[in-house]
Structure 1
Amino acid sequence: MPLKKALSTLLLSAACATFAQADVKVGVITSSSGPLALVGLPQKNSTPLLPTQAGNQKVTYIALDDGSDPTATVKALKKLISEENVDAIIGPSGSPNAMGVIQFAAEAGVPLLAPVGTASVVLPMNEQKKWVFKTTQNDDLIAKALVGNMVAKGVKTLGFIGTADPYGENWAKVMGAMAVEHGIEIVASERFQRQDTSVTGQSLKVLAAGPDAVLVAAPGSAAVMPQTTLFDQGYRGQMYQTHGAALPDFLKLGGKKVEGTILAASLMLVIDQVPDSHPSKQVAADYIAAYEKLNGSKPATFGANTFDAGLLLQRAIPVAAEQAAPGTPEFRAALRDALEQSHEIAATQGVYNMTAEDHSGFDERGRELIQVKNGTWTLLGSN
């Protein structure tokens, strides 16, 4: 019996060692080419900065470019699952692309960490979306800051221009409800395609309604054209943008025509202006420095969303590895459970506290109220 017991202990130890030594494989899907490249390229460029060690596990990354094409996104995800046997996937870059792959990630039981704008990837929660975790602030958190500013400024009427996709539609839904709650009337609501080269018709309708302020709900470079078009047509009311506009190219492409814009986004845009006591400031500063050293330029917040996904996995992987070996369905299920239990994880975008109902996990520490002043981002104050 002692010999048998000793042998069992030895085998158990060997099994545990196998768990500890197995590599964790993570797929990364970005739109580093095509119309979404301003979003996807900083995400691709952030991939080499992702953690390569999580507890005792080595983590390897397999990066694919979907060319901004939702059909290619599906093919890339299926390839990562069936051929590479990945344990998790970070991506894709676009909201429509992400909505199109949730079903397949859920069917395969592979956690998907989506660095996309729309809250529709995690809300309303259901059996499929429980496999998705979102590393950007949900629309309602950002909208509350914007509406609070509108109320303070006495805005009574609002024009809305958003993309005709899950990003724009969810923003229209969120703002519609919040505007009513705060006595703001939406007097014009228009949509456009991200790839459109003109929004003259839509902007003229907004202009004709004469709103006190206008909100543009579009991600990446698509956020610029509605605002510059309205400016050219003579609109001088207050302009608001979502966190989808939080990238250097918004300032470059918009120039003086986006001066005075108010948006709510992560502290990264104004990192030198937030207090050192902010739990995310040092994490964000380290990421910005590492990205700039590697790529020769400062990152857009979209890249940080991918980096945060790596930080969440770094915490969750050792917990899951206590339950099963990487590369198995059991490990992926345990990894999903561990991600859902993420608590007080300070990352570049804010502090994550996930629950079964909330797979974004941000609170007010994940946003700052910001205004474009003299061609740069300026902390506006209370959010």
Structure 2
Amino acid sequence: MKNIKLWIFGLMAFVLVGAMAACGNKEETSSGGSDGGDKSEEIKIGSIIDASGSAAPLGKPEEETIKMIIDEVNEKGGVDGKKIKLISIDSKSDQNEAVLGMKKLIEQEKVTAIIGGTISGNSLAMIPLAEKAQVPYISLAASKQVNHPDDNSPRDWTYKTAQGDDVVIPKLLEYLEDKKLTKVAWLGVANSYGTSGHEEFEKLKGDYGIETVIEEEFEATVNDAKSMLTRVKKANPQAIVVWGTAQESAVVTKNIREIGLDVPIIESHGIGTKEFIELAGDAANGVIFPAGKLLVVDQLGDDDSQKEVLNQFKESYENKFDKAASTFGGHAFDAVHILVNALEEAGTDKEKLREALENTEGFVGISGVFNMSAEDHNGLKSDSLAIIEIKDGSWTKGE
């Protein structure tokens, strides 16, 4: 009798374990198994954003904006009755983390499309994975290198919503030419973003009568650039171009003023966040840079085609997060909306989705009016930018 009871007890335990395992497998499939989950109920989208680390001043508003816009889309019924499920990964301003995140989204989560790449180095490292897997990828980074490096043609599956170097550098050079600042110092961050900007500057500067009297690089982790700037001061430039993002550029900008270099400072659109002003302090005043129009939306004319959507985004973001909207969040706003529009047109078939993204036309976004094509996977022109000056800790639209 004792043996029979033990046998019955063992059988019940075996059945119970089997039932639990079956429930576990069912849950895994419904949340995204090998086929990406039940496609009749949801569309899985991935994001890889630098929400922490040195690039967080850019990445955090991107992450917040992506979640905000997807929530808004889902509240309105999603896409063709399907809710969007976001798989969000913080790449922590680290290239290896970005690559690992890309592999996870493609191989494990089997997402329909991916948005992300806060900084150029991370985005460039992620692109080959998206291209090999043939997954539509919308980059939020500025580097022109999202194109093929050999012939500058667009990669098949990669798009971007930030203004590229090929759009921003000409705007910067036009300003220098207009102000007759022909002898400049170029100071660039020593990473992919700095390299890409420098290459475009070197290629075009002669067309605008600009020459560099000195070129220097600084690390993204710089905390004191005075020794470099001592050499710059001796070169006696008429203006200094600082090409970096908020954190490192703020250090260099402060140091420029601290050593008594009293010349115009022209910077990249990578500083277009309040964190730059907070970090640079009084040294930020007088800095000139080209950037998207969001920062000066209240100074735009009523005839500007972007003004309405800029104001709507600004109001939504600031009401939700109780802080100023940034152009970097704007890049994410554009990416989500462009992707949603493509999904509504093409569904989740990746090849059809890729074609729909490539045919984005006349989309009025935060970063500009997008007109993409087989030859241009960004679709923005110089009219998407304004020349901005920082005055008394605020953005002012230049002439």
TM-score (norm 2): 0.85
In the TM superposition, residue 49 of structure 1 has moved relative to its aligned partner by 1.6
Contact 2:296 2:396 in 1 (8 A): yes
Pair 1:80-2:105 in alignment: yes
- Match for 2:315: what amino acid? A
- What is the aligned counterpart of 1:200 among 202, 218, 226? 226
Is 1:334 aligned to residue 352 of structure 2? yes
1:8-30 per-position Cα deviation (integer Å, ceiling 9, x unaligned)? xxxxxxxxxxx994522110111
Question: What's the CA shift string for 1:119-147, capped at 9, x where partnerless?
Answer: 11135467882211111001122222221
| Structure 1 residue identity aligned to 2:66 | T
Report how far residue 220 of structure 1 moved: 2.5
Residue 38 of structure 1 aligns to a residue whose secondary structure is helix
1:43 paired to 2:62 = yes
Look up the match of 1:168.
194
Residues 322-353 of structure 1 show CA distances to partners (whole Å, capped at 9, x for unaligned) of: xxxx3xxxx11111111011001001111101
Distance 1:181 1:226 in 2: 28
- 1:147 and 2:166 aligned: no
| Conservation of the 8 A alpha-carbon contact between 2:147 and 2:153 | no
Q: How many pairs align?
A: 355
Verify the 8 A CA contact 1:56 1:318 in the aligned structure 2.
no
Please state how far the C-alpha of 1:45 moved relative to its aligned partner.
Answer: 1.3
Q: Partner letter of residue 302 of structure 2?
A: D
Q: Please list the CA deviations of residues 119-176 of structure 1 after superposition, one character each: whole Å capped at 9, or x if unmatched.
A: 1113546788221111100112222222112112111201011111111011111111
Q: Which amino acid aligns with 2:92?
A: G
Following the alignment from structure 1 to structure 2, what is the Cα–Cα distance between the partners of residues 38 and 150?
Answer: 28
Structure 2 alignment gaps of length 5 or more: 1-37
Q: Distance in 2 between matches of 1:287 and 1:365?
A: 20
- Secondary structure at the aligned position of 2:172 is classed as helix
Cα distance in structure 2, aligned partners of 1:159 and 1:221:
20
Residue number in structure 2 paired with 1:28: 47
**Corresponding position of 1:54:** 79
Q: 1 or 2 for the larger relative contact order (CA 8 Å, sep ≥6)? A: 1
CA distance in 2, matches of 1:310, 1:286: 15
The question of whether the paired residues in 2 share the 8 Å contact of 1:341 and 1:355 is answered with yes
Q: Of 333, 337, 342, which residue of structure 2 is paired with 1:316?
A: 342
- Whether the 8 Å CA contact 2:154–2:377 is kept in 1: the answer is no
Deviation at 1:60, TM superposition (A): 2.0
Deviations 1:19-68 (A, max 9, x none): 99452211011111111111111111112222332344432211111111
The CA RMSD measured in Å over matched residues stands at 1.8
Select the structure of larger CA radius of gyration. 2
Aligned residue runs from structure 1 range 73-222, under 5 A:
73-122=98-147, 124=149, 129-222=155-248
Question: For 1:345, which of 363, 374, 385 is the aligned residue?
Answer: 363
Partner of 1:15: none
- 1:359 is matched with which residue? 377
- Using the TM superposition, give the Cα deviation of residue 87 of structure 1 relative to its aligned residue in structure 2, in angstroms: 0.7
Which residue is 2:320 aligned to? 294
**Where in structure 1 are there 5+ consecutive unaligned residues?**
1-18
Determine if contact 1:279/1:350 at 8 Å carries over to the other structure: no
